[in-house]
Amino acid sequence: MTEQINNSDVIMGTAYTNPVPPGIPVRTRIERGEAYASPEIYTVEVTILETLRGPSAQEKIQPFEAQIGQPQPGYEFILVRLRINYSRRSRAAGGEPFIFSENQFSTFTIDGFRETPTPVINLPGQFLNGSQISPGGSQEGWLLLQVLQSDPQPLLVFKRQNVDAVHGVWGSIWYRLF
């Protein structure tokens, strides 16, 4: 049996019931390093800058249709433009890069229960898939996802625990796309 918890006092972004609206940056920390050593602490800040759906999205992805194919039946492609800032909390030089993976982001329906499929597509140019961001760096780019055609308000989730070599698992961050 699935129980739905509806708590209006939830901190913004920590649950599907109170997602972060577009344009609001959210900072979170991740720990990197060896499992049994003192971790290095980094800050990742993610901001949704723009979301394209329908004809606007189709126009932008049209040059890549041969690579992308068609969305699954009942779904449509959307494009989400993100800005990701990445910094190391210590003042030491160097550090591990943040490697962007499409598996770190998923779309959910507005009810927060049903995950929609995420295509594993690495597109050239302005797309973030496979990008690396060095500590102190920032990058903007597009993320290609699928959402249900019938869902007027899909949600985006940033799953911090899916980052390679990250130790320490915190909850996901929920974003409103529109």
Q: Which pLDDT tens digit goes with each residue over 27-70?
A: 888 777 666 667 778 888 999 999 999 999 999 888 888 888 88
Taking the CA of residue 63 as centre, how many other CA atoms within 13 Å lie in the half-sphere pointing to its CB?
A: 6
CA atoms within 13 A of residue 151's CA, in its CB half-sphere: 25
Domains of the chain: 26-176 (2.60.40.1240)
Q: What pLDDT, on a 0 to 100 scale, did the predictor assign at position 114? A: 73
Contact between residue 43 and residue 71 where contact means Cβ atoms under 8 Å apart? no
Residues of the chain whose pLDDT is less than 70?
1-10, 33-37, 91-94, 102, 115-116, 118-127, 129, 160-170
Output the pLDDT for position 2: 40
Computed on alpha carbons and rounded to an integer, the radius of gyration of the chain in Å comes to: 17
